Amino acid sequence: MSNQELQSKIAELQEFIDERPDAREVRKTLAVKLVYQSYKYEEIQTILDVSVGSITTWKQAYEKDGILGLCLKHKGRKSHLNTQQREEVLAWLQTKECWELGELECKLAFEYDVLYESKRSYYDLFDAAGISSKKTSSANSKANEEAVAAKEKRFHHCWRAAEKI
Highest mean pLDDT among 1-10, 46-55, 101-110: 46-55
- Encoded amino acid at 81, one letter: L
In terms of pLDDT, which residue wins out, 33 or 112? Answer: 33
Q: In the chain, what's the furthest Cα-to-Cα distance? A: 93
DSSP 27-75: HHHHHHHHHHTT--HHHHHHHHT--HHHHHHHHHHHHHHGGGGGS----
Burial of 11 (0-12, 13-18, 19+ CB in 10 A): exposed
Torsion of CA 17, 23, 25, 27, to 10 degrees: 80
Torsion of CA 126, 132, 137, 139, to 10 degrees: -120
Range 33-56 average pLDDT: 94
- Residue 28: CB atoms within 10 Å: 28
Tell me the backbone φ, ψ of residue 125, rounded to 5 degrees: -65, -40
- Rounded to a whole number of angstroms, the CA Rg of the chain reads 30
Q: What is the pLDDT of residues 109-162, one digit of tens each?
A: 888 888 888 888 888 888 888 887 665 445 555 567 787 777 777 776 665 555
